[in-house]
Amino acid sequence: MKEIDIIPSTLKEAVERISELPGYGEKSARRLAVNLLDMPRGEAIQLIKTLLDMLERIHPCSECGLYTEEEICSICSSEERDRSVICVVEETFDAFAIEKTGKFNGLYHVIGGRLSPLEGITAEDLNIDKLVKRVETNNIKEVILATNPTVEGEATASYIYNLLKDKNILVSRIAYGLPFGAVLENADDFTLSKALEHKTII
Amino acid sequence: MKEIDIIPSTLKEAVERISELPGYGEKSARRLAVNLLDMPRGEAIQLIKTLLDMLERIHPCSECGLYTEEEICSICSSEERDRSVICVVEETFDAFAIEKTGKFNGLYHVIGGRLSPLEGITAEDLNIDKLVKRVETNNIKEVILATNPTVEGEATASYIYNLLKDKNILVSRIAYGLPFGAVLENADDFTLSKALEHKTII
């Protein structure tokens, strides 16, 4: 009996491409594709167009790396922020979480990940050179290292500390109010507020 | 201190829309949005355009309900298939799994889900009327009920059996080579082949 290949080619291609996203395997990719096909078509197309719109309009702030729709993000262009303090975070949503506490009034710097020898992520893959340049060319008095309190986050903080320790600025690490191994983005406001208040001078 | 809303509006909208997909919450939606933003932009846009292409080209076959890029799917339009046997499945990927065994040469009928009082899914929400019409107006000799071997799948098979039992055709249920509670799409080819071979006449 001749076997007919009945999976439509655009569905196959969609599943292949979704599988390339972090955390997706073939089955979860297939599930997402079929869920999209099962939705009322107008809603699914609207969802996809929203994603396309997002990809066309959002890019990293040319100063700090936060995702923004402008050339310079609303934090970097605000006159109400303390421009002498930079809070270093791994990802944009970490900064959003800190911002929600209302306890930080400085600027951010998104390095875009963490050092991870296992995943082959080295300092060159992260937005760290730019941070050192910002510290050297602006009147920065303090850098708060708010990478996640994980093994990789700690290693990343140490690495950055070593690059900044001779620059005659204060370098601090966000306080361990956070439980070790946790993910910063998931912390509640109170814990995150405490961690900012009790930052320890390195 | 004035709090600045730093989450870009298109990112917010994307997260809201992704959250509407089955199985997504706010955090997983956010993760997907950020993963898309973190990818090389060209690749991300290509992924999204592939999904849009899929949504524009794929629709249910007007005969059997299988997802296809044509008006009539490759199975329904094939002259090599046995047009007197219909295998009823819950979803398109269930048919793809059966097709992969190479043990079935008839036609399919996708009902698009299963009866589920808890989720409020009734017979009217499923593509069952069309199945009865196909049986009445074509020269169908046998209907194989291949809904999943779960409580809902069984209830759906019974419901369809009751609609078809007086139509003077053979109605069979895919054999329990499958462990109860499993998902048909995930079964290995051998188990699925056995289940087709040992289908039992109702």
Annotate B42-62 with b (16+ C-beta within 10 A) or e (fewer): eebbebbebbbebbeebbbbe
Residue among B1, B13, B59 minimizing CB distance to A102: B1
pLDDT of residue A132: 95
pLDDT of residue B184: 75
Mutation pick from A16, A21, A79, A196 vs chain B, by most beta carbons of B within 10 Å, is A21
pLDDT > 90: what percent of chain B? 58
Residues 69-88 of B with CB under 8 A from A: 69, 73-75, 78, 80
For residues A191 and A83, the model is more confident at: A83
Hey, is the C-beta of A98 within 8 angstroms of any chain B C-beta? Answer: no
CATH architecture for segment(s) A60-201 = 3-Layer(aba) Sandwich (3.40)
SS3 A65: coil
pLDDT > 90: what percent of chain A? 58
Residues (pLDDT < 70) of chain B are 1-4, 176-180, 182, 194, 200
pLDDT of residue B1: 44
Which of B202, B199, B189 has its CA nearest to residue B163? B202
Alpha carbons B73 and B94: distance in angstroms, whole number: 15
Alpha carbons A136 and A185: distance in angstroms, whole number: 29
- Chain B residues inside the 8 Å CB shell of A48: 48, 51-52, 55
For residues A2 and B117, the model is more confident at: B117
Torsion sign over Cα B71, B73, B78, B81: negative
Placement of tokens 């048909």 in the chain? B184
Query: Which residues are within 8 A (CB) of B118 and not within 5 positions of it... i.e. 6 or more apart?
Result: none
In angstroms, the separation between the Cα of residue A138 and the nearest Cα of chain B is 23
Alpha carbons A60 and A68: distance in angstroms, whole number: 6
Residue among A22, A53, A78 minimizing CB distance to B4: A78
Angstrom CA distances, B196 to A189, B104, B168, B184, stand at: 56, 8, 22, 12
Find the mean pLDDT for residues A163-180: 83
Query: Which residues are within 8 A (CB) of B21 and not within 5 positions of it... i.e. 6 or more apart?
Result: A32, A35, A36, A39, A47, B29
Chain B, nearest residue to A40 by Cα: B55
pLDDT digits (tens, 9 = 90+) for A135-144: 999 989 999 9
pLDDT of residue A131: 96
- Chain B residues inside the 8 Å CB shell of A21: 32, 35-36, 39, 47
List phi, psi (to 5°) of A201: -70, 130
pLDDT of residue A160: 96
Structure tokens, B45: 């846009």
Which of the 8 DSSP states describes residue A38?
A: H
Q: Do A102 and B54 touch (CB under 8 A)?
A: no
Please report which residue ranges of B58-127 form alpha helices under DSSP H. 92-101
Which of B98, B1, B6 has its CA nearest to residue A81? B1
Residue A69 banded pLDDT, cuts 50, 70, 90: very high
pLDDT of residue A33: 93
Hey, is the C-beta of B30 within 8 angstroms of any chain A C-beta? Answer: yes
Alpha carbons A87 and A107: distance in angstroms, whole number: 6
Hey, is the C-beta of B189 within 8 angstroms of any chain A C-beta? Answer: no
CATH top class, domain B9-57: mainly alpha
**Cα B96 from chain centroid (whole Å):** 9
In angstroms, the separation between the Cα of residue B44 and the nearest Cα of chain A is 8
Structure tokens, A48: 């996809």
- Chain A residues inside the 8 Å CB shell of B55: 36-37, 41, 44-45, 48
pLDDT digits (tens, 9 = 90+) for B86-144: 999 999 888 988 888 888 999 999 999 999 988 888 989 999 999 999 999 998 999 99
Find the mean pLDDT for residues A164-180: 82
Residue A119 banded pLDDT, cuts 50, 70, 90: confident
Alpha carbons B44 and B38: distance in angstroms, whole number: 9
Residue A105 banded pLDDT, cuts 50, 70, 90: very high
DSSP states of A83-109: TTEEEEESSHHHHHHHHHHT---SEEE
- Chain A residues inside the 8 Å CB shell of B98: none
Domain definitions of chain A by residue range: 9-57, 60-201
Alpha carbons A73 and A60: distance in angstroms, whole number: 8
| Number of C-beta neighbours around residue A52 at 10 A | 19
- Residue A163 and residue A128 in contact, taking contact as beta carbons nearer than 8 Å: yes
Residue A12 banded pLDDT, cuts 50, 70, 90: very high
Chains A and B form CB pairs within 8 A to the count of 178
Structure tokens, A20: 């390339």
pLDDT of residue B79: 92
Extended strands (E) in A37-166: 59-60, 67-68, 85-89, 107-110, 142-145
- Residue B89 and residue B184 in contact, taking contact as beta carbons nearer than 8 Å: yes
Angstrom CA distances, B20 to A39, A43, B85, stand at: 10, 10, 38
- Chain B residues inside the 8 Å CB shell of A102: 1, 3
Stated pTM of the model: 0.74
Q: Do A53 and B9 touch (CB under 8 A)?
A: no
Q: Do B18 and A47 touch (CB under 8 A)?
A: yes
For residue B172, what is the enclosing H or E element?
Answer: strand B170-173
pLDDT of residue A1: 44
Residue among A44, A50, A96 minimizing CB distance to B55: A44
Which of B116, B72, B68 has its CA nearest to residue B90? B116
List phi, psi (to 5°) of B170: -80, 130
Picking from A70-74, A187-191, B35-39, B55-59, which range would have the lowest pLDDT averaged per residue?
A187-191
pLDDT of residue A180: 64
Chain A, nearest residue to B82 by Cα: A1
For residues A64 and A149, the model is more confident at: A64
Hey, is the C-beta of B10 within 8 angstroms of any chain A C-beta? Answer: yes
Mean pLDDT computed over every residue of chain A? 88
Mutation pick from B36, B67, B82 vs chain A, by most beta carbons of A within 10 Å, is B67
